[in-house]
Amino acid sequence: MPNMPGCRPDSRSVFPTTSPTIRRRPVCTAHYLLNDVARLHAGQACLVHAASGNIGQLLVQMAKAAGVTVFATGSSPEKCAVARRLGADHAMLYDHGRFADTIREATQGRGVDVVFDSVGKATLRDSFRATRKRGLVINYGNVSGSVDDLDPMELGEGGSLFLTRPRLADQMSDPDTVQRRADDIFTALASRQLHMPIASRYDFGTVELAHAMIEQRQQIGKSVLSVAG
């Protein structure tokens, strides 16, 4: 994520590097996925699955800030519209895996450089099809279930692909790394380069509705539970 001179807040005064809050925030996951694992740069292309979700929204914004062409998927037209509003160049439904064909067509058969796949079983093999030769598929979630029958030969047949399954704990293992992420994130927030939209606010009287919305995959963006003082 590019730094913005003159807008660098002192993140130490907000979240100390030892704080579990900053270590577990979705924004730190998006930051390490884009900057440390994918290492995307201007002129490249990526696919973000579940682009209207918490991490997906952040990945779309961070990738666009880096000059990357962003393809995004969602389970409904409303969720695709969210991705477009955040800057995605192309947004499409999963369409039973046909998103891969759409991406191949849009990239003249090449595919994207990197896929961010948090869905897992329902999309992973089609993510392979959407990826260019020697491209990278990052599986960082499995909301549709884990892939437990993957033969490594599939990666070779898919174009000598690279597949990784990173986890946040290994990317936040020392104070300097945590501080670097916090500095980048708060700089982007202060410069309005990065937005974290609040979808809904709930209290203890409506918390059951919040759970229902999340379970039914109707929640778009972050939810806030307000606790009376």
14 pLDDT band, cuts 50/70/90, is very low
- With 0-12 / 13-18 / 19 or more C-beta atoms within 10 angstroms meaning exposed / middle / buried, residue 220 is buried
**Which CATH class, in words, describes the domain spanning 11-170?**
alpha beta
Q: Would the pTM count as exceeding 0.75?
A: yes
Which range, of 7-16, 19-28, 60-69, averages the lowest pLDDT?
A: 7-16
209 pLDDT band, cuts 50/70/90, is confident
Domain ranges of the chain: 11-170, 197-229
Strands 90-93 and 162-164, by their bridges, are: unpaired
**Quick one: which of 27, 59, 74, 71 has its CA closest to 219?**
74
pLDDT tens per residue across span 63-100: 999 999 999 999 999 999 999 999 999 999 999 999 99
Which range, of 8-17, 89-98, 194-203, 207-216, averages the lowest pLDDT?
A: 8-17
pLDDT at 191 over 80: yes
**Quick one: which of 81, 147, 64, 145 has its CA closest to 128?**
147
- Mean pLDDT of all residues belonging to the chain: 88
